[in-house]
Chain A
Amino acid sequence: MGFLHHTFSDVYARQNNWLTRIDVRVKLLYVISLLVMNLLAKNILISILFLSASFILLFSVKIPLKATLRSMLIPLSFAILILFVKGLHEGEKEWMSFAVAGHTVSLKEEGLRSGLHTCAKALGGISLVIVFSCTTTISRVCTGLKWFRVPNTIIELLAFVYRYIFLLLDEVSTMWIAQKSRLGHSSWKKAIKSLGTLGGMLTIRAFERSERTYEAMRARGYEGGGILTINLSPWKKREYVFVIGMVLILSLFIYAGNVQIW
């Protein structure tokens, strides 16, 4: 049943702390510009700085370290993969070679350096996204996206999909238990057939639920127009201070990011 219990990081966003209280538009501006900085930085220090700062921020709002590390496992595995791909393919100067199954394998110095930089960028970038998602709920994300002029259709669908994921997960969970208790997953063949039935039932229920939802929406006056009722509050002094701070921080990072260290 573990697959049904992915921890969506916005469960922490419902807490009341100094990061959740920051306006979503400010947070989005910070995250996007810092992610761009992370990509453009020519040295590894910027990414390491983002990674450490993110851990400190997450620690300051009491996000469990275990949850943060769990979220980083997949990016980390991908980063290690990239490190080896680059180590094998990039550059000329051999750093290390060894024999595997009778073949000599050589890792190149230039490729490994570049791979290590990419690893740092992956971890620095993902840590910034984790800080954002652990401190921002989906409704606030929608508000922020609207301010950034993301098409309403995308925001409406995002809200719809997110709202119903958990509901459908609960339904699938119930059916999954029912199938298991009737030995529906006792062999590989049966498991595949049962998953087909589960997927089919899920689609039928989703279709029927969409009809009921539409009826409910119509009863409340929906005629095919926009469904977003998001109100954007005007910026206050605090938000302007954050943005000015961002401009100063970014200039510092642009300077630091252009320093060649290796």
Chain B
Amino acid sequence: MSRSVALFTGVFLLVFFAFGKAAYAMHITEGILPPRWVFTWFAVVIPFVGIGIYHVKRKKKAVPGYLPLVGMLGAAVFVFSCFPIPVISLNGMATSHPCGTGMSAVLLGPFVSVVVAAIALLIQALFLAHGGLTTLGGNIFSMGVLGSFSGYFAFKIAQRCKLSLFWCGFLAGTISDLFTYLGTSIELGLLVINKGGSFLKAVAEIFGMFMMTSQGVLCIVEGVIVGFILLFIYRRKPSILLDLGVIKDAAKPVQM
């Protein structure tokens, strides 16, 4: 363990012990990103949000009930992200909160999931002081774009590999979380790039610390919960998964 990693661990644990709010560590707070990165991240996410809006608009014309569906599922994902998940890690037994983007990407598709994540982040930034308005672009990139696309593709690849529905959900939840934290680590690592610091070292340290605290365990636990959620819906109301295009045929038994 390098010297800076040792100190870093101490600081991270101190912060988490002191405030017990590790849950929202993936949202970069207001004022942290310098102007050029603020504009860069907004420029990166605008096309994704734009395509997401186009998807919603197009689908709304064909199926008028699509707007309330996205709104309601968006609210459900927001509430899901408030669940206190018990995790054990270096900072002891703690409760952490899931991202929820893996689940929203599976249910709504990656582009619409980016829009839902953007709205959830806007609400959190405005009314809960988690994240920020100038860092909204960066947060949408890590949680919305990276989280949604990685979760969605993990789910689809797992389906192609004929894994059971639980494992498909597990991979979507876990990989989406991992990419979200990786995205946040990259964004924070980029802050030291022009100041004589090592970008890769900083990213590795930040990502390592995320994984060593409750967030690392959370990735796996969120995957398990997303798996259970999909199984529960499939057992109780498979038509929902069929309508949303998560599974192809409700009559065909899905391997569990």
The residues of A with any CB-CB pair to B shorter than 8 Å are 2-4, 6, 8-10, 31-32, 35-36, 38-40, 47, 71-82, 84-86, 88-92, 100-101, 103-105, 110-111, 114, 118, 120-126, 129-130, 132-133, 138, 141, 151, 153-154, 156-165, 167-169, 172, 188, 191-193, 195-207, 209-211, 213-214, 217-218, 222-224, 227
Contact = CB atoms under 8 A, between A and B. Distances in A.
B143 interface: no
Interface string B1-38: 11110111011100110110100110011111011001
A108 B254 CA distance: 57
B21 A73 contact: yes
Contacts of B86: 188, 191-192
A157 B56 contact: yes
A89 B196 CA distance: 7
Interface of B: 1-4, 6-8, 10-12, 15-16, 18-19, 21, 24-25, 28-32, 34-35, 38, 49, 53, 56-57, 60-61, 64-65, 67-76, 78-80, 82-86, 88, 95, 97, 103, 107, 115-116, 118-120, 122-123, 125-130, 132-134, 188, 191-192, 195-198, 201-202, 205-206, 221, 224-233, 236-237, 240
Nearest to A198: B83
A47 B227 CA distance: 45
B167 to A, nearest CB: 14
Contact of A161 (B78, B197, B201, B227): B78
B32 A79 contact: yes
**Overall SS of chain A's interface:** helix
Nearest to A90: B195
Nearest to B120: A161
Contact of A222 (B64, B78, B133, B202): B64
Contacts of B49: 154
B82 A85 contact: no
Contacts of B227: 196
A224 B60 contact: yes
A213 B129 contact: no
Given A88-B7, A214-B64, A206 B76 contact: yes
Contact of B129 (A74, A89, A120): A74
A133 B133 CA distance: 12
B53 A154 contact: yes
Contacts of A91: 195-196
- 6 shortest interchain CB distances as A-B pairs: A196-B228, A160-B71, A200-B232, A121-B31, A89-B197, A224-B64
